[in-house]
Structure 1
């Protein structure tokens, strides 16, 4: 997938898995406000990282994420780590396998352990 095509654009999880690791590491993953878990139809967005106003102790959302009322979900580096971990554990992971690991990480702050 062309890197510039996936920035600030609605993409499915399957497309997210094809994004260049370096691009993921430099950005963050955003979703619509009502998203709590991923599935194959979940739409995600890549945008710049959150900023922080230290005086007000508040997060500053990037313009795109703020404009479309998106919520931060993961840093891109965490997404990259989840992808790498899934590939390390499984020879031919499916989109469903990645989704399992994404959701597990979101709930437990650690990787899912696939039984080999």
Structure 2
């Protein structure tokens, strides 16, 4: 199976395909990554990067990795939340389409809860 690399551009669809297959085969990965993007609309062709979680400074502010700041990226999804959403979809619908995953990601962002299929 293909491994995702930090700081490399991926289409959201590609990340979903790789991570959902990994979840199907191995369960929750609990990997230390976040998804970052500078595109505001969640869509299959959205360009995303994986990078480490932000750190917290002495003022309880998130400090994003240099790569994220240099590319003017925004936090799109924490890796754990992203995998939780994908796992929820997979648990309900093993033959889920990319659009099912996209709908579930949008739903979670808007409602802070998982979508029912």
TM-score category (smaller protein): 0.7 to 0.9
Q: Paired residue for 1:43, among 47, 61, 70?
A: 47
1:86–1:101 Cα contact (<8 Å) kept = yes
Tell me, which stretches of 5 or more residues in structure 2 are unaligned? 23-27
* TM-score, normalised relative to structure 2: 0.83
- Runs of 4+ with deviation above 2 angstroms: 19-22
Deviation at 1:74, TM superposition (A): 1.5
1:50–1:61 Cα contact (<8 Å) kept = yes
After TM superposition, list the pairs within 5 Å mapping 1:73-84 onto structure 2.
73-84=76-87
* TM-score, normalised relative to structure 1: 0.84
Q: Paired residue for 1:30, among 19, 26, 36?
A: 36
Cα distance between partner residues in 1 of 2:5 and 2:43:
18
Cα distance between partner residues in 2 of 1:73 and 1:40:
14
Count of aligned pairs between the two proteins: 109
Structure 1 SS opposite 2:81: helix
Q: Is 1:85 aligned with 2:88? A: yes
